[in-house]
Amino acid sequence: MRDTYVAIPQNGGIEYNKINAAYSYGGPELVRKTIKETFGVPIQYYAIVNFESFPKIVETLAPGGLKIDAEKDLEVEGTVIKKGEQKMSGKEALQYARFRKDEESDFGRVRRQQQVMTALLKQGLNPLNAWRLPETIGTVRGYTQTNIPFSFYPGVGTSYLFSQHKPLDILTIPVEGSWNDGYYEHSGSVLEIDEAINGQAIKTFFTN
């Protein structure tokens, strides 16, 4: 969660702030360092996607529309989405994933983001689309800022398409019962977490 309050390594010391502040201070490298030092998780690769590139990625992976069962009626910046099963355009999928102006705030938004990511994986890496894989990989990579070498993609994509694999597993941090609402002048509203509980949850997630 972006409001998770953590220790961010800064100039030989640390500064507590929301975890998304790490990206503002030092980009993906500082985010990786913060996650490793807080939760003990070494992040090898990253990919940065913004509001402009996300719809293009969706329309590349799901050119006929992304199949989503929208959980509620919502509106974001003039884009109206009705509850129920539908095929979303890239812009609609972005706005659906962005919405947070309800009682659930970021918790609901993260759940919808995970719903969109699951749908993208299911549709974009469907064996029926195997013939499109090289072109799709090249197109999607062009819409991201990443340190993943191009040689990494074909093998992973092909392996996913043609082997037995588990569904996408998702873990949200902080886990239930491990956080409290907090507020600080320099960062505003935050989620104060139990780092030990969440670190163990992550460890269990990756070892199961």
Q: What does the domain layout of the chain look like in residue ranges?
A: 4-46+171-207, 54-145
- For residue 180, list its beta bridge partners: 192
> Percentage of the chain surpassing pLDDT 90?
71
Residue 74 pLDDT more than 90? yes
Q: Alpha-carbon distance 105 to 192, whole Å?
A: 16
Range with the poorest average pLDDT among 87-96, 104-113, 141-150 = 141-150
User: Residue 132: how many CB atoms within 10 A of its CB?
Assistant: 15
CATH code assigned to 54-145: 3.40.630.190
Please report the pLDDT score of residue 36 as a whole number: 95
Residue 67 pLDDT more than 60? yes
- Picking from 84, 76, 69, the residue whose alpha carbon sits closest to that of residue 101 is 76
User: Residue 204: how many CB atoms within 10 A of its CB?
Assistant: 11
Q: What's the pLDDT tens digit per position in 6-52?
A: 999 988 899 999 999 999 999 999 999 999 999 999 999 999 999 99
Q: Alpha-carbon distance 116 to 139, whole Å?
A: 19
pLDDT (mean) for 73-85: 96
Residue 123 pLDDT more than 60? yes
Residue of 207 and 192 predicted with greater confidence: 192
Vertex 35, ends 141 and 121: CA angle to 5°? 35
Confidence band of 127 (pLDDT split at 50, 70, 90): low
Q: Alpha-carbon distance 130 to 199, whole Å?
A: 37
Residue 130 pLDDT more than 70? no
- For residue 7, list its beta bridge partners: 16
Q: Alpha-carbon distance 146 to 144, whole Å?
A: 6
Q: What's the pLDDT tens digit per position in 139-184?
A: 888 899 999 887 777 666 666 655 655 667 899 999 999 999 999 9
Question: For the chain, what is the mean pLDDT?
Answer: 89
